[in-house]
Structure 1
């Protein structure tokens, strides 16, 4: 079912229990869903938009723009077939969110993810990758969370194709090019059918490293 809304920021009207939040941003019918940790890690504290306002966010935006998922970059990027959100959308006040904080806000993230029903999930960093692999692929036990190795690889989950992304704060030479190449290859094939097949193949070993 297609979502009918012209809102780019917080299209589903999420109201988490906090004074400041960075809600999901992008196309409510996107095929590609970028998943981050929280605003203090991946940006948006000042802009209110995920993955903006930091040098690391700019590096990631540039890679996404190269394959057309972003039509423009900056503090209010123009999106293509793309949505971004955080596991913990509230802005931390004084310290890192606790495990209980993540649990409390997980339902907001999960509601956005299931409303969008993207075909490709792009978890950024170790925490987001662990969460996505545990909750949406049932394959976490098969993979060591070595983000340098997982970066730009593919894992077929239960209805989603998952492509882990190394935290752009930690990118080294070649990491941007590796992600661009991986996304360009996915965009060149029928990833819709592949993600749908994941509903039946999630229990099999479908991990690939290029």
Structure 2
């Protein structure tokens, strides 16, 4: 198991809070006993300046391997982008034991467990926000956040007590959070979004160009 850098904030491996997600977890534990099939812990640097807020584990990715975005197409694009911008060390090989280390960045999902058809209900998102909030509170050096998709965007804003209507989601849109931190939105790096052209590699990389520029601006003004 990959050790979470904020292990004290993680849900228990048999978290009982969402009956629908528990039922799916048990179904997959029986069907695929070699898979992770449990809440997926955060992955990355405990001293990160950049927080990636995702949606939920993918069935063949994090739910199988136990590490966010590891083992599916979304991870191929995300980790390749990290490498291009100097945010990782080692080589991503789509396995939890590939030795990959994130540098300055941490990944936290809005929902910790695999939801049916990759669609958590509003109640499940609200229930799991307890863990999202605990993890974000445990990472005080985070200054820039990237939300992958509207659900992650909305859940993050609710964690902060902010009304999503005042911060409309849009790809590469940036929102000042009023406390010196910023949120940047991105379409989710899913195979569906890239196959349909909704998200290109260049569009995705532009989000990280902006994130790095914001980090430098914040450091200059500190």
The TM tier, using the shorter chain, reads 0.7 to 0.9
Measure the CA separation in 2 of the matches of 1:115 and 1:38.
Answer: 20
- How far does residue 144 in structure 1 lie from its aligned partner after superposition? 3.2
- Counterpart Cα distance in 2 of 1:58 and 1:129: 22
Q: Which of 45, 51, 70 does residue 52 from structure 1 map onto? A: 70
Alpha-carbon deviation of 1:137? Answer: 7.3
Output the CA distance in 2 between the equivalents of 1:32 and 1:51: 16
Deviation for aligned residue 1:172 = 2.5
Distance 1:103 1:43, change over 3 A: same
Say whether 1:15 aligns with 2:43: no
Name the residue aligned to 1:165.
186
Match of 1:116 in 2: 139
Query: What number of residue pairs does the alignment pair up?
Result: 185
Aligned-residue RMSD, C-alpha: 2.8
Partner residue of 2:164?
Answer: 140
What is the distance in 2 between the residues matched to 1:56 and 1:108?
Answer: 23
Determine if contact 1:137/1:158 at 8 Å carries over to the other structure: no
For structure 2, the 5+ residue unaligned runs are 17-24, 26-37, 194-198
Q: What TM-score does the superposition give when structure 2 sets the normalisation length?
A: 0.71
Residue of structure 1 aligned with 2:89, choices 53, 71, 83: 71
Distance in 2 (alpha carbons) for counterparts of 1:129 and 1:95: 16
CA contact (8 A) 1:136 1:158 kept: no
* Structure 2 residue matching 1:63: 3-state secondary structure: helix
Instruction: Give me the TM-score of the superposition, normalised by structure 1.
Output: 0.75
Q: What do residues 72-124 of structure 1 show as CA deviations (whole Å, max 9, x unaligned)?
A: 33434311011111111122367743222222211011100110121111111
The 3-state SS of whatever aligns with 1:116 is coil
1:128 to 135, 149, 152: 152
